[in-house]
Amino acid sequence: MPNQDFNDLLAFLAVARERSFTKAAAKLGIVQSTLSHTIKRLETQMGLRLLTRTTRSVGLTEAGERLRQSLAPRIEEIEHDIAGLMALRDTPSGTIRITLSDHALQTVVWPKLLPVLKKYSDIKVEFSLDTEFRNIVEDGFDAGIRLGESVEKDMIAVRVGPDWRLVAVASPAYLEEHSTPKHPKDLVRHVCIKRRQAAGGQYAWEFAKKGPEIRVRVDGQLTFNNSYAMIDAAVKGFGIAYIPEDMVARHLAAGDLVQVLNDWSPMFDGYYIYYPTSRQNSAAFKVIVDALKLREAR
């Protein structure tokens, strides 16, 4: 039997269940004459009479009953499976892959997602920590989290974190031995803890006060691509590090680190989660975005 006759079988099954052309047509959302024509076509193709019709009722022939018994459990199984699939559409589940920096993860993303992921155990999140500006579509990520100024224009972007700033810090022992820099250009005479960019270059430290931005290329014994390693090295006296302020707040309060060049530390635009339009229909993805969304204090 041709593939296109599957709808005819569904029409027959509706009539067999309802024992009425009128009720079956209403359930299928078609007019009664169309349904009657469909059944006649099916009977012609099979070469069998399937239904007996009277003015008051519709019955099944022996062939019709055998066909009903064959079709009904299989169609019900398919309907059950489809209902299960449709439920997945509204149930938050699946794996979400996100590329982001260690700073974004620690200060914004993880604190917000921790309670949400405990609530939705079927949501799995894979974090890829790096500073590279990835093509999230080509690299298979569902979303990326970067500073607002870095987000591509063709992406949907939702702000997830407040503005923040980088600060230059060093241990009291280092500053006692090497003195305190008064101007960003003084850093060229200091031992600094450098950051390696994902693309291979080294980050030039950016400063700003009342005037144009100043970029300083520092030098030193150590280079990392991880903020926490830089902080640990600074605490142990290996030089001056340039670190997000909220990541060293505890060390500054404890006196393990001292902030320098405070007036020169610029503010940076907060983090945004960005993604292509094709990612916004997943229930799990909607949960993640809603949890991360920055909400104004009341």
Q: What does 38-59 look like in DSSP terms, one character per residue? A: HHHHHHHHHTS--EEE-SS-EE
pLDDT tens-digit series, residues 72-95: 888 888 877 777 666 566 678 888
- Supply the pLDDT for residue 291: 93
Given a contact cutoff of 8 angstroms between Cβ atoms, the answer to whether 170 and 241 are in contact is yes
Least confident segment among 4-8, 46-50, 87-91:
87-91
Q: Mean of the pLDDT values across residues 241-248?
A: 93
DSSP state of 218: -
- Supply the pLDDT for residue 90: 65
Judge whether residue 37 has pLDDT over 80. yes
Distance CA 92, CA 217 (A): 46
- Supply the pLDDT for residue 3: 46
CB atoms under 10 Å from CB of 60, counted, come to 18
* Cα three-residue angle 194-195-199, rounded to 5 degrees: 135
DSSP state of 184: G
Classify burial at 105, counting beta carbons within 10 Å of its beta carbon; exposed 0-12, middle 13-18, buried 19 or more: middle
Judge whether residue 42 has pLDDT over 90. no
Tell me the pTM: 0.63
* Cα three-residue angle 149-124-162, rounded to 5 degrees: 30
pLDDT tens-digit series, residues 124-157: 999 998 877 777 888 888 999 988 777 777 788 8
In order of their start, the domains of the chain are 3-90 (1.10.10.10), 94-158+270-292 (3.40.190.10), 164-268 (3.40.190.290)
Average pLDDT, the chain: 86
Joined together, the tokens standing for residue 285 give 């993805």
Distance CA 52, CA 243 (A): 83
Judge whether residue 34 has pLDDT over 60. yes
Position 278 confidence tier, pLDDT thresholds 50, 70, 90: low
User: How would you classify the pairing of strands 143-147 and 271-275?
Assistant: antiparallel
Closest by CA to 143, choosing from 279, 271, 270, 269, is: 279
Higher per-residue confidence, 5 vs 184? 184
